[in-house]
Amino acid sequence: MLFTFISFGFYAAFSLGIIRSISAEIQAEMPNVIKIGLLLLGILVLLYIVKELKKIKTHHSNHKPAIRKKELLTVVAVIGGAYLTFAFNHIVGMGDVLAASLIGLIAAWTIKNYALPIYCGTFIGMVCDQIYSNPFAIGFASIITGVLYVISSHIFAGWGGKAGFLAFIGTYTTSLFINQSFHFVEPLSFRMYIYVFLTVILAGVSTFTIHTMINRVDVVSASALIGLLVAFFSSDSSHVIVFAAFCGTFTGMTSKELFTNKSDIIIASFLTAFLFVFSFSLFEGVGGKLGSLAFIASISTGGLKHLFSFLKRHPLLVRTNEYFKAKFD
């Protein structure tokens, strides 16, 4: 139970911390509506975190992580995915999205039981080589991520972007240990906003549709396939639209048990695009950034669904609804 709460603490701290960083970055130049939007997003994330905490106390109070062959192989899978992607990305020169997508797709079609942890590792391998020039740093980040992957497997289950979020925790924590600062770039040009929003929403909806409508296609295959196609057919695999599409696919990895309506994935993809646009200048080159944005957008949508569900059951609203029904029937 202790390990569960420790991992839960990482989820809560990093998700709210990322929103806080974005808010601080845009404080001076953005209109109030954007600031209010981020505040509401943070509240929705907090609502879902509280809901998840209650579920942990109720359903996972006796959960005891054990060190078995499967858990060890899961950590190895994360490490392997990270080093392979880093090599394909920086040594072969394939590019990060193309490398991560290719390795993820191969894993999904050959090592299905460990495809997701391998895919999680690929996000660490997407890290900028100028930040992680030391190969041991990749290994350290992978071990942190792999351990968190194992001990938190039963919490926030099924949410899109979770694997990338874990990779972000691993790479960010490692950067603190090695005292390595991140890159900051210029904010995204306003003229690109509409293209980013359309791309993220299309990629998110497409990924969700593929893995929920086609039985033989799992979430890793759906995400990696779209990422691979977009990166391969793009004239510039490092273009912002390629990363926007890849980010959207992570939102689309959310399970159909969590997103029960078509509107859920559209809302979550919209929020993902919102976060992508306004976090563009932050955490440049950090592995797992795209997945983190997708994860925050996804659980905030979960928070919104939880809020609506609570309001529908509230006695005052129930009585008000009954009153108007009786009045107009």
- How confident is residue 48, by pLDDT bands cut at 50, 70 and 90? very high
Residue 6 in this model has a pLDDT that exceeds 90: no
Closest CA to 20 of 275, 319, 325, 191: 275
Kindly state the tokens that stand for 164: 């990338």
Kindly state the tokens that stand for 236: 């510039």
Length of the chain in residues, anyone?
329
**Phi, psi for residue 87 in degrees, rounded to 5:** -70, -50
Per-residue pLDDT tens over the stretch 240-286:
999 999 999 999 999 999 999 999 999 999 999 999 999 998 888 78
The listed range with the strongest mean pLDDT (70-79, 135-144, 183-192, 304-313) is 70-79
The listed range with the strongest mean pLDDT (3-12, 21-30, 132-141, 143-152) is 143-152
Closest CA to 48 of 305, 246, 315, 316: 305
Residue 60 in this model has a pLDDT that exceeds 60: no
More confident residue, 183 or 287: 287
Closest CA to 142 of 83, 230, 97: 83
Please name every residue paired with 284 in a beta bridge, in sequence order, or none if there are none. 183
Per-residue pLDDT tens over the stretch 158-171:
999 999 999 999 99
- Between 94-98, 154-158, 180-184, the lowest mean confidence (pLDDT) is in 180-184
- Report how far residue 251's alpha carbon sits from residue 296's, in angstroms, rounded to the nearest whole number: 9
Q: What are the residue boundaries of the structural domains of the chain, listed by start?
A: 2-313
Per-residue pLDDT tens over the stretch 208-228:
999 999 988 999 999 999 999
Kindly state the tokens that stand for 150: 């194992």
Kindly state the tokens that stand for 103: 């390795």
The enclosing H or E element of 193 equals: helix 193-213
Residue 135 in this model has a pLDDT that exceeds 90: no
pLDDT computed for residue 276 by the predictor = 97
**Phi, psi for residue 279 in degrees, rounded to 5:** -110, 10
The DSSP result for 204-250, as a single string, is HHHHHHHHHHSTT--HHHHHHHHHHHHHHHSS-TTSHHHHHHHHHHH
Amino acid in the structure at residue 293: L
